């Protein structure tokens, strides 16, 4: 499922981490860690972006690959956090 957040997430990752040849991109499902695009410092930068851009609070227990290892997973995570906030 693609949400309205995916384009913003992709743009942040491309602007801050993606240093590939011109025209090369990363697939939405591709692991950011395995591809060498993000490391632990990059994860902290990503978290700061998500918290400020989408007004989220990311708990330490949520900083796991299942939530943050691909554009697809980040998108789903942000959507779930926004939905959670809307129902409170």
Query: Three-state SS across 12-70?
Result: HHHHHCCCCCCCCCCCCCCCCCCCCCCCHHHHHHHHHHHHHHHCCCCCHHHCCHHHHCC
Query: What's the whole-model pTM score?
Result: 0.89
For 27, the token pair is: 């697939």
pLDDT tens profile 3-61: 889 999 999 999 998 876 566 788 999 999 998 889 999 999 999 999 999 999 999 99
- Return the pLDDT at 27: 93
Class of domain 6-87: mainly alpha
Distances (CA, A) of 58 to 10, 34, 82: 19, 23, 11
Cα–Cα dist 82/3, whole Å:
11
């Amino acid at each position: 499922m693609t949400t309205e957040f995916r384009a913003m997430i992709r743009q942040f990752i491309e602007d801050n981490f993606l240093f590939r040849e011109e025209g090369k991109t990363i697939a939405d499902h591709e692991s950011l860690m395995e591809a060498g695009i993000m490391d632990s410092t990059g994860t902290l930068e990503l978290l700061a972006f998500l918290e400020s851009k989408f007004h989220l609070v990311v708990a330490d227990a949520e900083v796991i690959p299942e939530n943050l290892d691909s554009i697809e997973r980040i998108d789903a995570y942000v959507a779930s956090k926004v939905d959670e906030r809307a129902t409170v």
